[in-house]
Amino acid sequence: MQESDIQLHKWFASNIGTKILRAEWQRINNFCGKLHGDNKLVITSANVSNFVERGHFKHTIFLSAHDNHGHYKDNFILSLYDELPLQFRSVDCIIINHVLEFTLNPYKILREIDKIIKPNGHVIISSFNALSFYGLQKLFSSKKNILTHSKCWQLRQIEEWLKVLSFKIIKDEHEFYRPLVNNKYLLDSFMVLDIVGRMFFDSFGSVNLIYAKKQISNLTPIKNSWCLADSLLKPGLVKSVT
């Protein structure tokens, strides 16, 4: 996974990758701006340090499967996505940013998320949409890159997995209706397609966004309030990178 993670990181650093990140994080930040809590966790291979707004959370933590620490001044964890080294019920909000499409077992990652999210905590998932310009280019492009190896899980499938784990789906959204070309001039000239797409073809954006909330259990959770220190991490699994 680390090699594909590095390739994906490079793709998101391109012009088209940056455009997509900016568009989707504007929506994510709008949603997170209404939330508050102790800890927000961002799981991604991309450099999103310029897009993430800290909002009303005491701590924002970034986690990646490759050493992405150079892009973050602090609060970075190096870890596998399906073995999260975080304490039980310790995170208020988790954002999974283009991770599920590049793993063989996305449900295992969601199960890890379920372990560390607090009751009434929120999960936001961004992933690529097969029914879009992205899907068409993935299907017909002769040029092989990291995106052609992705698995476009259907929106409903991801939502069903979340429901099995006792998450309530709040809403889903779609973003970015332009062809995925890396030429800045062409991308800007197609900007009108974003406006038209949102109005008439909403479900055909290249990015799917799912917003969900963890349902309250009958158990009384133990409150965890940590800064990014070894108290956050499971003993013996990983060390925070600062």
The Cα-based distances of 75 to 41, 68, 92, 241, 242 in angstroms read 10, 11, 16, 7, 7
In a domain, 198, yes or no: yes
In a domain, 231, yes or no: no
Check: pTM over 0.85? Answer yes or no: yes
In a domain, 238, yes or no: no
- The CA distance from 17 to 5, in Å, is 14
**How many Cβ atoms are within 10 Å of 97's Cβ, its own excluded?**
24
Residue 221 clears pLDDT 80, i.e. is over it: no
Q: pLDDT tens digit string along 126-147?
A: 999 988 988 888 777 767 777 7
- The CA distance from 211 to 162, in Å, is 10
Q: Which amino acid is at 145?
A: N
In a domain, 233, yes or no: no
In a domain, 186, yes or no: yes
Q: pLDDT tens digit string along 27-41?
A: 999 999 999 999 999
What CATH number does the domain containing 170 carry? 3.40.50.150
Please give the average per-residue pLDDT across 103-113, as a whole number. Answer: 94
Per the structure, the complete domain to which residue 156 belongs is given by 2-214
Quick one: tokens of 5?
Answer: 């993670």
Q: Please count the structural domains in the chain.
A: 1
In a domain, 242, yes or no: no
In a domain, 229, yes or no: no
